[in-house]
């Protein structure tokens, strides 16, 4: 039981760490690109809340959820799908904290609902892929 929790925490760390790192890089580069094309700061700010950028963020986030579930399941010898699912639970918790945040939030409701609906199945898909792609080395016997 301890092994599955450790692998799920590792998968969650990979998922969340890669998400924050990747979206920081993407956001800074995109903002610099827009600023170099004389886009105002207000327009740059609102670009990150546009449906196109949020849809892009959802697709990339789902792929990183799958990657986190895959990583969690890869470090667990059995129950691959469960490990992938457990690795996605911290993402639900962070989403809950974002919803309960009293500060104004400009993220559309459809994004919050979609991200909640896909995070667990994406982690489970990562676990399933790890199980499906798991290769056991063949050992040669005597003779």
Q: What is the pLDDT of residues 114-125, one digit of tens each?
A: 888 899 999 999
Contacts of 53 (CB under 8 A, 6+ apart): 30, 47
Q: What are the distances in angstroms from CA 105 to CA 23, 53, 68, 77, 111?
A: 18, 16, 26, 41, 12
Domain membership of residue 98 (yes or no) is yes
User: Is the confidence at residue 49, as pLDDT, over 70?
Assistant: yes
Domain membership of residue 139 (yes or no) is no
Kindly state the average pLDDT of the residues 40-49: 92
Domain membership of residue 143 (yes or no) is no
| Whole-angstrom Cα Rg for the chain | 19
Q: What is the pTM of this model?
A: 0.84
Between residues 1 and 90, the one the model is more confident about: 90
Give the number of domains in the chain: 1
Contacts of 48 (CB under 8 A, 6+ apart): 27, 31
Domain membership of residue 140 (yes or no) is no
Kindly state the average pLDDT of the residues 28-55: 93
Domain membership of residue 37 (yes or no) is yes
Domain membership of residue 42 (yes or no) is yes
Task: Give CA–CA dist 43/34, Å, rounded.
Answer: 9
Domain membership of residue 11 (yes or no) is yes
Q: What are the distances in angstroms from CA 109 to CA 23, 49, 99, 112, 115?
A: 20, 12, 10, 5, 10
User: Is the confidence at residue 6, as pLDDT, over 80?
Assistant: yes
In the prediction, which pLDDT does 138 show? Answer: 45
Domain that holds residue 101: 2-132
């Amino acid at each position: 039981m301890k092994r599955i929790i450790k692998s799920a925490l590792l998968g969650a760390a990979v998922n969340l760490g890669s998400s924050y790192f990747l979206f920081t890089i993407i956001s800074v580069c995109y903002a610099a690109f827009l600023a170099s094309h004389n886009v105002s700061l207000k327009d740059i700010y609102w670009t990150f809340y546009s449906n196109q950028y949020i849809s892009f963020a959802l697709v990339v986030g789902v792929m990183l959820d799958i990657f986190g579930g895959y990583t969690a399941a890869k470090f667990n010898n059995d129950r691959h799908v469960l490990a992938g699912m457990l690795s996605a639970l911290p993402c639900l918790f962070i989403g809950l904290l974002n919803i309960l945040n009293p500060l104004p939030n400009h993220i559309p409701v459809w994004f919050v609902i979609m991200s909640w609906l896909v995070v667990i199945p994406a982690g489970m898909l990562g676990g399933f892929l790890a199980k499906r792609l798991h290769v056991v080395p063949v050992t040669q016997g005597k003779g």
